[in-house]
Structure 1
Amino acid sequence: MAKHASSPGRRFMKLAGMTASIAGKAVSNSIRNLNADEEQKNAAKSQMFQDIGLKIADTLGEMKGAVMKVGQIASQYKDIFPPEVAKAIAKLQRQAPPMPFEQIQQQVERELGRPLKELFAEFDPQPFAAASIGQVHQARLADGTAVVVKVQYPGVDEACESDLKQVRLALRLTGMLKIDRKLQDQLFAEIQESLNAELNYQIEAQNLQVFRTFHSQIDPHIIIPQVYTELSSRRVLTLSQELGENIETASTWSQELRNTLGRRLFRALGQEIFYLKRFHCDPHPGNFAFREDGSVIIYDFGGVKDLSPQIVQHYIDLVHAARRGDITSIDEGLLALKSITETGKFPEELYSAWLEVLMRPLVTDYDFAENSAHHDGVILAKKSLSYWDVFKPSPDTLMLNRTISGHYWNLIHLKVKDNYSDLLEELVPTKT
């Protein structure tokens, strides 16, 4: 099994080897296609991107630890990569093999300062979840309370900055990043910030406490695990065990119950965005569980995005403009969010068509299982390709777009059939 935390020198050499290999592929591709026509060049470039994407995914996947997490976070920003690369690195979201229990025990005892048998009455040596920077074990406290213990792999936080620089260099060598240098700096600064936050379980503990307090005052059916601070540290996080069914099981429940769960998910996200101005931004279905009393359990608060009041107001203005069908205001709002290069370039008829597709799941009696908006959006995307350079990834919208898109697919998996017009009225306040 590959080591989770290799020495800095070994890790650097692996990354440098990946970078050199990518550079070689780029140079070879350029030489081979000096006399090729446009179609041949595009086909060769697509093949090169596929090869490079696989090389990045294989290298980062082998290395585990911080650099694999860098790849996972980068894959969340797939809009900035060619589709061939995005598809290849998406597999980094899969679970990693577990670390030997002896090392996990040493990490817990080192972090909490006491022998494991004094900290917990029981501690299952077999993890029930393992990911890129840590794994999760079930345990019991002295009073019999069931808890889960999230343990970070030793050493993964040692060289994050250099790992991220190496990955960025590898991507830049082939011109794979479809954005200018200034925007690259902004996006990679955000990736670094996300990585630092996920590597510090004390930040996640604070997030859990904030979101638990916020939601408990509004809806007791949004359940967020309780933090046991005396059994937590920067690299160990002990939480109450909150059990529920996965999304596949929940999708077999009655339509009424599935609609209740869907509304609860939708409302919780809206409340976080427009009122808390911080939102849980990892919509992976594995981060949610469901109960037959209509409760939704939310896990993993390592990924949280803060929103400024100005950005939230831009979103509010956009929602109101969309409901009015005001194309001019939408164009101006997207410019304010740095999501388009300039106003007046994208045709009004295409704006109107996109507006209908995007608003359809919100303001009509919509069957998410049928998923008509997505299918029509794919067709519309082909018609819009010649104007695609008008749009650009924005640091202010990337994580929100990803979160909304992820929850759209969660509602599809739940087979929700509902009309969210009333929730939209409830959640989006008028401009102050």
Structure 2
Amino acid sequence: MAEDWEKLAGETGEEVTSNRFKRMFKLGSMGAKVTASSVASKLGSFLPGNKDRREEGLKRAYAKNAERVVEVLGELKGASMKIGQMLSADPELLPDEFADVMSSLQKDAKPMTYNTVKGQIEKAFDRPMEMVFSYFDPDPIGSASIGQVHRATLETGEDVAVKVQYPGVAASLESDLKSLKTMLVYGRAFVDRDRLDQIFDEVRRMLMEEADYRIEAETMARFNEHLDGREGWRAPKPFPQWTSEEVLVMEFIDGQKLDEALAEIGDGPRRQELLERWMHLYSWMFHELHELHGDPHPGNFLLQDDDTLVMLDFGCVKSFEPEFTDGFMEILDAAWQDDAERIIDIYLRLGFGTDGTDPKSIDPELMLQYQSIVTAPFMRDEPFDFGDWEPAMEAKLFMMRHPSFFKLIPPPDALAYFRVLSGIKGLLRKMDATMNAYEMAYRTARRRGVLTES
């Protein structure tokens, strides 16, 4: 049996280099090409001529640069690929032409070779693969930023999914981040400096947590129990006895990636119900469990034939204090009451602001205007169109006009929370979702006992 799958293997993947200098060279070369192309296309847009033709030229340049970035980040994996995935998850961060190409990092990354996979597994278990698996599919069923997943069957008969980590992920983390950040900042390829700093800090934290699959197996087991009693949801069961730092064996669950399924379903009540159920899950996690699945891109969710949603990838789950999660419900409640002074007090209590920030330095009327931008979906008891919502750009323009709001620097926990919200908003916007988010928030606030009746 082992010989049969070995014959099928071939060498269709690619080697993942862990050499720091080779990785720096690849990122540097890619950065130089992207920068040169970006500068040339921007200069060209100022030249006289047909406006439509100039805009079409910019779009072609964006797409070409995106292809360059995807090719290199997909090859290097690790921190580089994670950065690309996070950038592509939020449509407000990138031009549409760039985002369309970058989104392929979520699903089309080239896998590592079978020999590399085999070496990682045998190193992890200190025994030949055929002593663990009666069957192992050499072709991966999914590729992610720090590992890829194969279908297999244990010697004991269970159908499983095996996540195998790319070699050298942890060792190359800092050098990858430094090289990629230099390219993006000085090349001014597509992201502003403030947003980039937040993304890089979050990626560093996420990858350090994700790099140990034993921790992920423990979290997966916990969520398997959490979702067991929640209608329409499930999570795989891990096999701890066959899990190491770099290999994770879990129950195999068949299904279609959520974004692909939603695209096939099209507009209608079925898609509406699925999107609402997905959004409700994140509200439940944050406000009831006080934990948050930190990587909400749709590739981490499957849709089964009976419309059960499956949550995958528990490498980055963050815990919060109940006082912190309730605080955001209190901000909404205060906004519903037009109580700007209370909103300001809650922000400061949650840790927003620099040391010694004076609440009086923030204009209460302006605070209500700011809240109307960042919490727009939750302000009215009516369906909200997420397809037209661009809060990041609106908030940035508002803060440029009113610099006092730059003092409300978010605490680290809030940055992680906002990163997840950005991913949620990204899918809802891509799907042109319309839903009554106010109703969901109101019920949660009442359940948590933070609702103030007017």
Q: Would you say same fold, with TM above 0.5?
A: yes
Gaps of 5+ in 1: 367-371
Tell me which residue corresponds to 1:404. Answer: 424
How do 1:279-358 and structure 2 match up within 5 A? 279-291=292-304, 295-309=308-322, 311-327=324-340, 329-330=342-343, 338=352, 343-344=362-363, 354=373, 357-358=376-377
Tell me which residue corresponds to 1:201. Answer: 213
Cα distance between partner residues in 1 of 2:334 and 2:117:
52
- Assess, with a 3 A threshold, how the Cα gap between structure 1 residues 417 and 295 changes in structure 2: closer, same or farther: farther
The RMSD of aligned alpha carbons is: 4.8
Cα distance between partner residues in 1 of 2:366 and 2:442:
30
Gaps of 5+ in 2: 1-12
Of residues 232, 235, 252, the one that matches 1:224 is 235
How much has 1:346 moved relative to structure 2? 7.8
How much has 1:192 moved relative to structure 2? 0.7
Cα distance between partner residues in 2 of 1:295 and 1:347:
44
Q: Return the letter of the residue paired with 2:201.
A: A
Of residues 27, 38, 46, the one that matches 1:15 is 27
- Assess, with a 3 A threshold, how the Cα gap between structure 1 residues 91 and 152 changes in structure 2: closer, same or farther: same
Of residues 256, 276, 281, the one that matches 1:268 is 281
Q: With the length of structure 2 as denominator, give the TM-score of the two structures.
A: 0.72
Q: Helix, strand or coil for the counterpart of 1:238? A: strand
Q: Helix, strand or coil for the counterpart of 2:296? A: coil
Q: Helix, strand or coil for the counterpart of 2:389? A: helix
Q: Once the two structures are superposed, what CA deviation does each residue of 1:275-334 show, in whole Å capped at 9, x if it has no partner?
A: 332211322233223456664321111232333445324312222224334455446656
Q: Is the 8 A contact 1:25 1:48 kept in 2?
A: no
Tell me which residue corresponds to 2:192. Answer: 178
- Assess, with a 3 A threshold, how the Cα gap between structure 1 residues 332 and 400 changes in structure 2: closer, same or farther: farther
Q: Return the letter of the residue paired with 2:254.
A: L
Report whether the alignment pairs 1:100 with 2:110: no
Cα distance between partner residues in 2 of 1:66 and 1:230:
28
How much has 1:164 moved relative to structure 2? 0.6
How much has 1:225 moved relative to structure 2? 0.9
Report whether the alignment pairs 1:211 with 2:223: yes
Deviates more, 1:112-121 or 1:391-400: 391-400
How do 1:187-198 and structure 2 match up within 5 A? 187-198=199-210
Q: Aligned pairs, how many?
A: 416
- Assess, with a 3 A threshold, how the Cα gap between structure 1 residues 420 and 294 changes in structure 2: closer, same or farther: farther
Cα distance between partner residues in 2 of 1:158 and 1:221:
39
Tell me which residue corresponds to 1:241. Answer: 252
Q: Once the two structures are superposed, what CA deviation does each residue of 1:316-374 show, in whole Å capped at 9, x if it has no partner?
A: 222222433445544665676759997339857855864884127x843x4xxxxx523
Tell me which residue corresponds to 1:369. Answer: none
Q: Is the 8 A contact 2:287 2:444 kept in 1?
A: no
How much has 1:92 moved relative to structure 2? 2.8
Tell me which residue corresponds to 2:4. Answer: none
Q: Helix, strand or coil for the counterpart of 1:239? A: strand
